[in-house]
Structures are given as structure tokens and as C-alpha cells.
Amino acid sequence: MTKNSNRLYQRAQRHIPAGVNSPVRAFGGVGGHPRFIVRGQGARMQDADGQWLIDYVGSWGPLIVGHAHPEVVLAVQKAAADGLSFGAPTAAEIEVAELLCRLVPSMDMVRLVSSGTEATMSAIRLARGFTGRDLLIKFEGCYHGHSDSLLVKAGSGALTFGNPSSGGVPADLAQHTLVLDYNNTPQLAEAFAQHGDKIAAIIVEPVAGNMNLIAPDPVFLKAMRDLTTQHGALLIFDEVMTGFRVGLGSAQGLYGITPDLSTFGKVIGGGLPLAAFGGRRDIMQKIAPLGSVYQAGTLSGNPVAVAAGLATLKLAQAPDFYERLSNLTKTLCDGLVGAAENHGIAFAAQNIGGMFGLYFAEQCPSTYKEVMACDSAFFKRFFHAMLQSGHYFAPSAFEAGFVSAAHSTTDIAATIAAADAFFENEGTKKPR
């Protein structure tokens, strides 16, 4: 059934490390071989063997209006016809910057870049340049791209500095990053009590999406805002995933927290490489050529990517867009939970806007430790059974999922029915 995908995978491994250009695509977390995709339309994509899959990955979040939306495709075609790149300013760059600042009131100014990694890396450099401090706080399980400062795992004890979590990251660099527990407000307060005058910034996913979906404790979010203000540090919201995905005002609008800097990607590019970082005017004016913090990019503000992003954000501003998206996603989560309960399977799910998390556990986790305690072996069986029946979830137990506006109630019902069949089969295996 997957003959062509397997053949392409074998071919790819000869010249691409592990046959993929981003690690999670290799199916290392679930086993087996990745499907190679040839086209997408609406809520579905077709693999190299002709199977159509209802897609709950959506290019890892950007495709909030679905694959190949006609208005997005038309915008891209028009932009491409005028030229693919100029390395010079265009009016469309101004338009997207104005729109981002209007939709996200915490931002007075933005700079466009090409990837989420580039956006977070630049925001951290700016925070350090603005404050004159070196120490960064991040949280275990949150992913902010693959720059050196961020590929750091927790130290051996509470409030110890981080250790490199990737080869090629100098230990001396990791010592400038303090890795704390997500949703642990007392630990955060203690970190500021000990190191407050050295902390340049906190960077956080306001809704964690890279250790599966973890909802924030509102007390935790407020503590970050209060402590950074009190100690002269900056608060950076990494909204590369949550931006315009959990609501039109993004996570900061949903939770009523105003960060100093924000990073965006995924949805703002509509499926093409576009990202941004922005914030208060006095901070952003420290960026070159106005200030001493250097940042540059040959393809920043690429006109084709900007066109796709503007078309996507225009569609997302339609009345009731996010209400419908959230309701669809909740219907999926509730239906999957109900199917599991019918067959005595320990399973939980939740959504925030168009993002969702699935957990083989009695309840939704709220910490990294609780996520790691979920039954990942059960998830692997679920993943492959659902893929076989035409439903494509993220190939990892530690990634959030995504619903698009192109999904229909029929799509959701079909997925729930397929899951019910899987849970029924698993239930018959349990000892009586």
C-alpha cells in the first residue's frame, strides 16, 4: 500500500540525512516509514501511493484555511508573476507589518524574517542587547527553534543552569540559559529572587505545543509578566505556533497578557516561509540600522510569502472564523474521548482554538513530567491504525495537532468513527 513512499524514502536516504529535511518527519517517534506527499486540497492530502488522508498536521500549523485555498493560491500566483524576490523593500511588506501591529496591540513595530527559528533567535539577541544582560529563562519541553541558546535541557537540579541538548552546542553558551518547569510559578519566583538582576528575558510558548498541547496556568502567565517588569527583564511570547491559531489576537489576546516582544511564524506565511518578531517601539529601535543589535536576511519579506500570508490573514478575519474553528476542534476532541471511554481506554484530549492535544492518560497533563508519563506505546498503535484508515496525525506523541477551516463536520465524524474502531479493537485485547 505504501510501495511508492517506501521507494522514495530509500532513495532520499542516499543524499538527505535520514531521508528527511526535518527530524520529526522521519517517523522516529512512531516507527515505520514516512508517507511522501504529492498534493493537498482542503482538509486532505494525497500520498505518493494515491491514498487521500484527512490531515491534522497542516504543515505543522500554518494551513489554517486548508491546503491550496483558491484565494491564497491566486495571491501567490499574482505575486510570483511580478518576480520571486528583489532584496529591496516592497509595499506589501508595509501592509503585512501594519496588519500584524493592528491585530496584536503589544507590537508597535515588527521585522519580517523567514523562519520561526530566525524570529526567536533575533528576539533573544535583541532582548540581551536592550537590557545589557545575558541570562535567558526558558522552560523544559518548550521548543523555540534550533539556535544554540535554545537547544538546552534542564540541569541536574532545580535552578541549575542548562546543559546542551544537541551536539555542537558549546557548554559555555548553555550556561547562559536557565531551564525551568513549565507552569511552576514558585520555581519561577525563586529564579528571579536569585538571579533577577542578571536575567535579560523569559521566552515561553504561552500555550505549549511542542511537548504535546499543554494549557498554561493563568497564574503562571501573570507571574512572568509581573516578575519581568519588577526586575527589568523582558517577556518574549513565542507565538510561532499559537499566533492567529488560537484566536485572532493570538495567545496574548486570549489570556490578556502583554509581552514586550513576540515572535510569529506559520500562519502568517500561509504555508510559505515567513516569520516576524516585534514589540515595543523603544525595544525595536535597537535593531540595526537604527541601533547596535544586528539582524539581516536576504529573503526577509519575500513578496510571494508575504502575499500568501496576507491572503491567509484576510480569510482568518471573517466573522465567526475562530468560533467555528474552535467548535470543530472541540468536537474532534470530545468525540475521541467519548469513543475511548466507550471501550474502557484511558485517553484524554483538549483544544485551545484550532490546536489540540491527545494523551493516552487518565487526564490532560499540565507539566512536562506528566506528558512524559503518558503511554507513548499506545499512541504509536493509534497513530498507525489511524494512518492506515486515512487519518494523518503528527507522528509523535509529543506534538500538538491542528484543525483547519477546511475540515468539515463529515471529516471530523469520519475520524471519530475510525478511532472508535481502533479503541474497540484495543478494548478486546484487555484481560477480562
Q: Assess whether 138 carries a catalytic annotation.
A: no
The domain that holds 346 is classified in CATH as: 3.90.1150.10
Question: Do 295 and 197 sit in the same domain of this protein?
Answer: yes
Contact 175, 198 (CB under 8 A): no
Options 181, 182, 266, 359, the catalytic residue: 266
Name the β-bridge partners of 55: 392
Q: Which of 316, 340, 371 is the last residue of a domain?
A: 316
Range of the domain at 63: 3-68+319-429
| Torsion angle of the four alpha carbons 338, 339, 340, 343, in this order, in degrees rounded to the nearest 10 | 120
**pLDDT above 80 (res 160):** no
* HSE, side-chain direction, 13 A CA sphere, residue 361: 19
Contact 205, 355 (CB under 8 A): no
User: For residue 432, what pLDDT band results from cuts at 50, 70 and 90?
Assistant: very low
Task: Give the pTM.
Answer: 0.95
Counted domains in the chain: 2
Backbone angles phi, psi at 279, to 5 degrees: 175, -150
Q: Assess whether 282 carries a catalytic annotation.
A: no
The gap between the terminal CA atoms of the chain, to the nearest Å, is 35
CA–CA gap between residue 12 and residue 2 (Å, rounded): 15
Options 9, 47, 56, 143, the catalytic residue: 143
Q: Which of 261, 294, 316 is the last residue of a domain?
A: 316
Question: Do 93 and 61 sit in the same domain of this protein?
Answer: no
Strands 37-41 and 234-239: what pairing?
A: unpaired
Mean pLDDT of 341-358: 98
Q: Assess whether 198 carries a catalytic annotation.
A: no
**pLDDT above 60 (res 431):** no
CA–CA gap between residue 15 and residue 34 (Å, rounded): 16
Give how far the C-alpha of residue 374 lies from the chain's centroid of Cα atoms, to the nearest Å: 20
Mean pLDDT of 22-27: 92
| Residues, the chain | 432
The domain that holds 138 is classified in CATH as: 3.40.640.10
Q: Which of 283, 316, 349 is the last residue of a domain?
A: 316
**pLDDT above 50 (res 156):** no
Residue type, 286: K
Question: Do 303 and 164 sit in the same domain of this protein?
Answer: yes
**pLDDT above 90 (res 17):** yes
Give how far the C-alpha of residue 41 lies from the chain's centroid of Cα atoms, to the nearest Å: 22
CA–CA gap between residue 117 and residue 123 (Å, rounded): 10
Q: How many degrees, rounded to 5, is the angle at CA 43 between CA 39 and CA 44?
A: 40
CA–CA gap between residue 304 and residue 324 (Å, rounded): 29
**pLDDT above 70 (res 158):** no
Question: Do 133 and 250 sit in the same domain of this protein?
Answer: yes
Question: Do 267 and 324 sit in the same domain of this protein?
Answer: no
Question: Do 24 and 110 sit in the same domain of this protein?
Answer: no
Options 47, 55, 181, 238, the catalytic residue: 238
Question: Do 394 and 358 sit in the same domain of this protein?
Answer: yes
Q: Percentage of the chain with pLDDT > 70?
A: 97
Q: What's the confidence (pLDDT) of residue 430?
A: 62
Question: Do 334 and 203 sit in the same domain of this protein?
Answer: no
Residue 28: its H or E element: none
